[in-house]
Amino acid sequence: MILKQITVENFRQFRGRQSLVFAAGEPGKGKNVTVILGENGRGKTGLFRALMFCLYGDCSLAQDEDTRREDLRLVNTPTLVEASEAGNPVYATVQVEFTHHGVHYDVERRVKGVLHNGDHLEQVDKAELRYQDKNGNTKLVDSPSEIERTLNGILDRRVREYFLFDGEKIEHLTRSSAAQRIEVARGIRCLLDIDDLEKALAALKRLRGFLGEELSKVSTGEYAQVVTRLNELQRELDARTARLEEIDKELLLAGGEKKKLDDALAANEGIATQVAERKRLEDAREEWKTQANELLVQMRDRVGPSAVLLASNLVERVYGTVEDKRQSGEIPTALRKDLIERILSDEKCICGRPVTPGVPGAFEAILEWKNKAVDEHIENAAMDLWRLLSGLLGRFDDIRVFLETTIQRYGNLRNSMETATKSIESINEQIGGSERGDLLDLEKTRQLTESRMIERKAERLKIEDEIADREVERSQRSNRREQLERVEGQKSELAERVELALRTHEALDNVKSEFTSEVKTRLSDNASEIFSRLLDDEGRSMLRRIVVENDYSLQVLDPWDKPFLANISAGQRQVASISFILALARAAAGGQVLEMPLFMDTPFGKLSWQHRENLISQIPGAAAQWILLATDTELGRREASLLSRGGAWGKFAVLESQPDGSTTMREYKVSEALALLKNTEEDA
Amino acid sequence: MGDIHDEIAAKLDAQPLNVRKLALRALELAHDNSETAVFEGLKNWVREIVKAGSQS
């Protein structure tokens, strides 16, 4: 979507019909930056509101959450008052023209306003979308649901706030609630076309189930039983996998709910310290639990090698016996035989005594030694055993040390967890003992939420076990089915179809896991790279990387890879959010610049000069179109000079106040901007 | 966005021909059809693929 023009008529502050053309050149080559300057209250947000109303039918914005809809007026009030004297209604109209993938779109929405017994009443009375189809014919769409479907296909409403936003509030991307994150994650999947992949997978799953049932109906005997059970197992696995996804969502939502309740409780001075301490203990306990689980996994992996410790006494005894024989030269026989042969041929012992027939004692003793034959195989086995035991004995100590230290560490973690649990229970009692009813209600709700989370986690573990059992059975039954098919001599065509649907679903499912994980890595890498270019020097020294979490929320890491989001400034949050948006746009466009505008209301309010400088030099080449609604305190001569030097600034308009309180959009040449702008604080 | 489809298709390269055919058909249908329409389309497609495989 590239915005071409907006026209407003009697909408909010804008009296009469007024239009504004946006710069829409190619990024990096043409002019794609538009600046709309206006003092506070002159209609910058009114223009943003007009855009959201026209494209999505939004009568209110996120910032209006504390305002009742009937108190929000879209129709220009002075015009309505004048018209009502003659008993006439007033129509507030917004028209937006844009192009998308070469197609020109024209959207128009209208609100009818009347004054009735002094009440200002409004109703949306028209919505139209016109576009040119592939054959050049103009199509008119006037069904609100069809308009919504078409516009969502261009810029999904769930991610619209990623491209059309209030600069100062965009930092909410790093603060959004769990429920918002789920919704936004869906939008991002749509933007990245992952939803097509999910739809294909859902259809393949259905196909696999349908064909499995068909095969079961036409089969007989044991084959029918095996196929029927395989179908059942698949249904059970699907149901359990779906339940796991639900549980994850429930846990995410409950976690968000718990955090909100904690924030509400912490707002009360009397218990703020306890609430903070409980949070610290809970986080630590969770971390210890993770560490303890990791130790359990390590111990489980070493169970095999450790089992040999049970036989350590026996191993040491056997080793000792074999070693004695080796030391005394009884084994290996080959060595002993060589020695005896040499003594007998030299007729002299290694100690110098003569060993010849007739010399009493020594000769007979050597012969007897030679005749003490040891079976060669037994002897080889004994030598192998000696070598094995020799290696094993060396590892006994390693295994012992590993087990002792791991059990010790595991025990310490368990103790710390138990101590934390007791302290948490004690804090729960203190907060629960409060005499204030509102705090008690909050605390009770918090405990219920936590109990629900514990139940869900237990259910999760149970389901994971059930899935593992069923997967084992499925593998066994599949093997049996294949055996039966071999006995039959050939596989039916229907069985081939079942097999193909199954394999295709598996293959595409693996592709999805691989692809989504790569997308997240790519988003993290791109966002981090953009972040480091947009940050000021102070930020660069403190912040190392942006990480996109599994739910597509953001985390910022410090130079030691520790989460640091909670400690960064509002300006840095804003820069992190913008970096993520640009990375997302790049990912959605396969590494190119996505055809989407960045429409930013109050873009620089919270940003340092260096942040502004970086944004001004980077965004025109990274976004397809940049539209800035700024005050003269955030966009002064210094910013304008920089923007001008970049060569991408194409349009400049000022929202000018009229004597009747309305606003006029007046377009100026970009070259006139410097004369109209003030020095910003940093210059002064 | 087409590039992302190409990326997914490339990940299926190591799969047997029939699996790749069916998966790509499913993705193609999913781009502008409902899940039910994709399912109905695949019912015929899977039959065709298996039939062609047994004849070759």
Q: What is the mean pLDDT of residues A278-299?
A: 89
Q: Which of A365, A395, A421 is the C-terminal boundary of a domain?
A: A421
Tens digits of residue pLDDT in A415-465: 999 999 999 999 988 888 877 888 888 999 999 999 999 999 999 999 999
- Chain B CB contacts of A192 under 8 Å are 4
Residues A457 and A415 in one domain: no
Q: What is the mean pLDDT of residues A236-254?
A: 91
Residue A575, φ and ψ in degrees, nearest 5: -65, -40
Asked whether residue A383 is assigned to any structural domain, the reply reads yes
State the pLDDT at residue B31: 81
Asked whether residue A158 is assigned to any structural domain, the reply reads no
Measured at the CA of A291, the angle between CA A290 and CA A297, to 5 degrees, comes to 90
Distance in Å, alpha carbon of A514 to nearest chain B alpha carbon: 9
Given a contact cutoff of 8 angstroms between Cβ atoms, the answer to whether A360 and A367 are in contact is: no
State the pLDDT at residue A130: 95
The yes/no answer to whether this complex scores an ipTM above 0.85 is: yes
State the pLDDT at residue A374: 57
Q: Is the pLDDT of residue A37 over 80?
A: yes
Residues A473 and A400 in one domain: no
Band of pLDDT at residue A308, cut at 50, 70 and 90: low
Band of pLDDT at residue A105, cut at 50, 70 and 90: very high
Q: What is the mean pLDDT of residues A123-151?
A: 89
B26:A204 CB<8 A: yes
Residues A400 and A507 in one domain: no
User: For the CA atoms of A209, A214, A218, A222, what is the dihedral angle to 10 degrees?
Assistant: 0
Given a contact cutoff of 8 angstroms between Cβ atoms, the answer to whether A574 and A167 are in contact is: yes
State the pLDDT at residue A684: 43
Q: What is the mean pLDDT of residues A230-244?
A: 93
Asked whether residue A520 is assigned to any structural domain, the reply reads no
Tens digits of residue pLDDT in A576-632: 888 888 888 887 777 778 888 988 888 887 888 889 999 999 888 888 999 999 988
> Which amino acid is residue B46, in one-letter code?
V
Asked whether residue A297 is assigned to any structural domain, the reply reads no
Tens digits of residue pLDDT in A218-229: 888 899 999 999
The two three-digit tokens of residue B16, written as one number:
């047997």
Q: Is the pLDDT of residue B53 over 80?
A: no
Q: What is the mean pLDDT of residues A142-160?
A: 85
Q: Is the pLDDT of residue A666 over 60?
A: yes
DSSP A5: E
Residues A316 and A390 in one domain: yes
State the pLDDT at residue A360: 66
pTM of structure: 0.65
Task: Please name the residue that has the structure tokens 């790279």.
Answer: A529
Residues A319 and A401 in one domain: yes
The two three-digit tokens of residue A504, written as one number:
């295709």
Distance CA A381, CA A387 (A): 10
Best residue in B25, B42, B51, B56 to probe A by mutation, most A CBs within 10 Å? B42
Integer CA distances (angstroms), A500 to A138, A217, A271, B28, in order: 44, 18, 61, 18
A203:B31 CB<8 A: no
Q: Is A508 on the interface with B (CB under 8 A)?
A: yes
> What is the residue-averaged pLDDT of chain A?
85
Asked whether residue A469 is assigned to any structural domain, the reply reads yes
Q: In the beta sheet, which residues pair with residue A98?
A: A3, A105
Residues A239 and A322 in one domain: no
| Three-class DSSP category at A555 | strand
Q: Is the pLDDT of residue B1 over 50?
A: no
Best residue in A500, A515, A517, A596 to probe B by mutation, most B CBs within 10 Å? A500
Query: Which of residues A170 and A476 earns the better pLDDT score?
Result: A476
- Chain A CB contacts of B36 under 8 Å are 203
State the pLDDT at residue A542: 85
Q: Is the pLDDT of residue A177 over 80?
A: no
Domain CATH code at residue A220? 1.10.287.1490
State the pLDDT at residue A45: 86
- Chain B CB contacts of A204 under 8 Å are 22-23, 26, 42
User: For the CA atoms of A387, A388, A391, A392, what is the dihedral angle to 10 degrees?
Assistant: -150
The residues of B whose Cβ lies within 8 A of any Cβ of A are: 1-5, 7-8, 11-12, 15-16, 18-19, 22-23, 26-27, 29-31, 35-36, 38-39, 42-43, 46-47, 49-51, 53-54
Residues A496 and A443 in one domain: yes
**Region of poorest pLDDT, from A9-18, A297-306, A626-635, B9-18:** A297-306
Q: Which of A421, A449, A476 is the C-terminal boundary of a domain?
A: A421
Asked whether residue A237 is assigned to any structural domain, the reply reads yes
Q: What is the DSSP string of A80-103?
A: HHHHHHTT--EEEEEEEEEEETTE
Residues A392 and A480 in one domain: no
State the pLDDT at residue A23: 94
> How remote is the C-alpha of A143 from its chain's centroid?
36
Packed helices B35-55 and A493-534: angle between N→C axes, nearest 10 degrees: 120
Q: Which of A389, A421, A453 is the C-terminal boundary of a domain?
A: A421
Asked whether residue A463 is assigned to any structural domain, the reply reads yes
Q: What is the CA radius of gyration of chain B?
A: 12
Tens digits of residue pLDDT in A383-423: 777 777 777 677 777 777 888 899 999 999 999 999 999 99
Band of pLDDT at residue A140, cut at 50, 70 and 90: very high
Band of pLDDT at residue A178, cut at 50, 70 and 90: low
The two three-digit tokens of residue A64, written as one number:
């209006």
Characterize the bridge pairing of strands A33-37 and A649-657.
parallel
> Which amino acid is residue A50, in one-letter code?
A
Asked whether residue A101 is assigned to any structural domain, the reply reads no
Distance in Å, alpha carbon of A252 to nearest chain B alpha carbon: 27
Q: Which of residues 582-621 of A touch B (CB under 8 A)?
A: 588-591
Element (H, E) at A241: helix A221-266
State the pLDDT at residue A663: 93
**Region of poorest pLDDT, from A5-14, A326-335, A378-387, B41-50:** A326-335
Residues A440 and A393 in one domain: no
Residue A657, φ and ψ in degrees, nearest 5: -80, 140
Distance CA B4, CA A370 (A): 80
B39:A197 CB<8 A: no
Look at residues A196, A2, A370 and name the one whose alpha carbon lies nearest to residue B35: A196
Highest mean pLDDT among A95-104, A183-192, A336-345, A530-539: A95-104
Distance CA A489, CA A246 (A): 44
Residues A315 and A413 in one domain: yes
Q: Is A155 on the interface with B (CB under 8 A)?
A: no
Percent of chain A with pLDDT over 70: 89
A508:B29 CB<8 A: no
> Domain tally for chain A?
2
Q: What is the DSSP string of A419-457?
A: HHHHHHHHHHHHHHT-S-HHHHHHHHHHHHHHHHHHHHH
Query: Which of residues A243 and A387 earns the better pLDDT score?
Result: A243
Residues A400 and A498 in one domain: no
Domain that holds residue A217: 192-269+435-513
State the pLDDT at residue A113: 92
State the pLDDT at residue A511: 92
Q: Is A197 on the interface with B (CB under 8 A)?
A: yes
A210:B49 CB<8 A: no
Band of pLDDT at residue A171, cut at 50, 70 and 90: low
Residues A397 and A495 in one domain: no
Band of pLDDT at residue A540, cut at 50, 70 and 90: confident
